[in-house]
Structure 1
């Protein structure tokens, strides 16, 4: 996509900034989009405590996930949604309609395949009379939510299999599928209700970290050579930072496991946060307000680059980008064009404002 070059007034070694590929799974390109999305959510999320709930897909279904990624994503979303909304609508557990923001993640700390949904659930909702009512520090019983989630997801998997929508891997027979299916009723499923966020800032920090950008933060990459890639990760079991070394092919394979299929929405809204529940949402917003006045988790302004040698501000000196001729097909042969200095730099800036390429 081309590169922009920055240098300080003393012309020390410059800074190269590659132009955005705009892919939602690219961590660097998603930085600005991430913060813009958070600012939009501040207009939507209520200024109330939120619970954090995590629904995990059993690892026995991982082979099926690889052959039915879009289908299983729909299944885990629907099972998570119906579990929360059904239980909270029950008078024994509040009798409320909450607001739910849900994000699908497919990775573990070591880039292994680990599909799960992160849910932000309002600590309160609308009762049957349409009035706002807050919940206390308790959301739902752990045993109940695990059993209901298991039943919902198993029912959806069975329905997809019997309708022919579920594609079995080459090494899995129908008998093997039913054996795996029945065995999952004998184990306890992983559903965690984490700590409650008591204020809007905590919600924003959570969203800023997880909403966009894929599984790999460039700061995790410690050493890269032809023999392998060393990356750090936080072990959630003992809370210690550890490292692992992967062959380049294995690293690429693991990253590509977590690129979502085209057209799959990995962020969704339910309850009174759903786009179709505008009237209910207005009632809740009038009662509680939104996070619009909460300051962002980090600066969303334009990036300033500083020289690593003298610390001075680095200015744009030149840019180069692919020239693709007519049209915008990425399959056309690319020839790098380069412009530098003075009026040419200004021409670059005007060109880039009109083009689809922007600097990270």
Structure 2
């Protein structure tokens, strides 16, 4: 039996979250999501030696966890969450979630559709290079390799 037939025989029930008793909860959720952005100042714990420590709520463990990353990686992580100009922000669920592309491609193959290929975003260095912009250190004349200096 192919995957399409197998999936078609299942009584599906999609669950996103518990229903709200009133619109106030929905409004609060949307306000936090739309206004809050990828991270807020309360989540930042420390900036030291070009490393940023922050806390976040894990959707897997449902607990607050800490993570420490380099400044360039932190910047990259935050920039990934910014919507493109003029494009709506969409959250993905199920086989359309970015972490389960392999399962999506199995389903697409069963439906004789082409594989979904995740776009590889260029680094900031590649974008500057493409635009013909070089960041040169005013002191030593060497091309800069990072876009920001550590906070003092």
TM-score (norm. length: structure 2): 0.47
Bigger radius of gyration:
1
Higher strand share: 1
